[in-house]
């Protein structure tokens, strides 16, 4: 299987793209405009340039694979690269260094390769199905925590769903004694679950480009992952849960949706 080649190319491309994004981040406009119009335009331009770099590199290496990016779209075939060039866009916009490049390869509805590179932290998370997950080349494992009252959980949110649904999920999390955070980059949070730095990531809706790489990291690090690509998940996204196994039952009840 050519998974090993895809993994090594994806790692190299993620790092190159991340360093490009880091350079842009360090040279971003510092206008304190109230509406962040200037920063938003700069972010959009950077997002597109990073995605173009990734698309060019992957299509040169694997011309028979399809490519689908958050910015430019693409085609969703049974062998496709799913890419978020900059996850954590709100952070990037405000000068918060918590953002990353997320690259996944999905074959016949299953993620086979997942790579996330956080350039400001210079951390490369990588996994190939059946071959484990690594952080900068060292094996990763989920936390193994068993008591929800000692947990730290990232509850992702975006304006794709009504705010009250998010508030209710957070209320339920606090009701069972969990600590929660929202860092603004779902992909980095998923990677941190795989690294054992967080105990779970949950969100009522996430897009495929944000989640496929990070979920494979968690699965290969021994965690529970929801059937994120079930139904029409690749095209429409889905609710998402990735966690250390002992917290699965309570978190599925907290989320109140099929995960
Ligand atoms: C991010 C997603 C996630 C959400 C984050 C953020 P983006 O996407 O990874 O679904 O919880 O707040 O929206 O827009 O930064 O690439």
Q: For the residues of 205-228, what is the DSSP string, one character each?
A: EE-HHHHHHHHHHHHHTT-EE--T
The residue contributing the CA closest to ligand 1 atom 13 is: 158
Distance (Å) from CA 158 to ligand 1 centroid: 6
Coil, strand or helix at 172 = helix
Contact 86, 57 (CB under 8 A): no
Report which ligand 1 atom has the smallest distance to the Cα of 186.
Answer: 9
Residue 1 pLDDT: 58
Distance from the CA of 2 to the center of ligand 1, in angstroms?
A: 30
- Average pLDDT rounded to a whole number, residues 124-152: 98
- The answer, yes or no, to whether any atom of ligand 1 lies below 6 A from the CB of 84, is yes
Distance 1 CA to ligand 1 centre (A): 32
254 lines ligand 1 (CB under 6 A): no
pLDDT grade for 32, boundaries at 50, 70 and 90:
low
- Position 80 scores a pLDDT of 98
pLDDT at position 42, please?
85
Q: Are 249 and 146 in contact (CB under 8 A)?
A: no
Residue 225 has pLDDT above 70, yes or no: yes
In angstroms, what is the span from residue 64 Cα to ligand 1's centroid? 29
Q: Answer yes or no: is pLDDT of 22 > 90.
A: yes
Does 36 have pLDDT greater than 80? no
pLDDT in tens, 157-216: 999 999 999 999 999 999 999 999 999 999 999 999 999 999 999 999 999 999 999 999
- Residue 148: pLDDT band (50, 70, 90) is very high
- The residue contributing the CA closest to ligand 1 atom 9 is 186
Ligand 1 atom closest to the CA of 156, numbered from 1: 11
Question: What's the pTM value of the predicted model, to 2 decimals?
Answer: 0.96
166-174, Cβ contacts within 8 angstroms, sequence gap of 24 or more: 166/204, 168/256, 169/202, 169/204, 169/254, 169/255, 169/256, 172/253, 172/254, 172/256, 173/254
The closest alpha carbon to 237, from 196, 208, 211, 197, belongs to 208
State what percent of residues in the chain have pLDDT above 70: 98
């Amino acid at each position: 299987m050519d998974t090993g080649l895809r993994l090594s190319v994806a790692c190299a491309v993620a790092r190159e793209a991340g360093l490009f994004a880091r350079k842009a981040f360090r040279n971003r406009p510092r206008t304190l405009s109230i509406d962040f119009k200037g920063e938003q335009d700069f972010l959009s331009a950077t997002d597109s340039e990073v995605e173009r770099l990734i698309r060019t590199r992957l299509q040169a290496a694997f011309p028979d694979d399809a490519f689908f990016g958050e910015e430019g779209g693409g085609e969703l075939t049974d062998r496709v690269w799913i890419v978020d060039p900059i996850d954590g866009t709100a952070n990037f916009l405000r000068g918060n260094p918590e953002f990353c490049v997320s690259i996944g390869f999905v074959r016949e509805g299953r993620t086979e390769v997942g790579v996330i590179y956080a350039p400001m932290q210079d951390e490369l998370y990588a996994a190939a199905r059946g071959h484990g997950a690594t952080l900068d080349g060292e094996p990763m494992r989920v936390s193994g925590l068993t008591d929800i009252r000692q947990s730290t959980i990232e509850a992702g949110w975006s304006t794709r769903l009504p705010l009250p649904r998010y508030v209710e999920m957070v209320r339920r999390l606090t009701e069972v004694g969990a600590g929660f955070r929202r860092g603004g980059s779902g992909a980095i949070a998923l990677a941190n679950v795989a690294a054992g730095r967080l105990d779970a990531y949950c969100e009522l809706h996430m897009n495929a480009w944000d989640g496929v790489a990070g979920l494979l990291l968690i699965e290969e690090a021994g965690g529970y992952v929801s059937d994120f690509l079930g139904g029409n998940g690749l095209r429409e996204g889905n609710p998402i849960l990735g966690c250390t196994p002992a917290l699965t039952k309570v978190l599925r009840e907290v989320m109140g949706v099929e995960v």
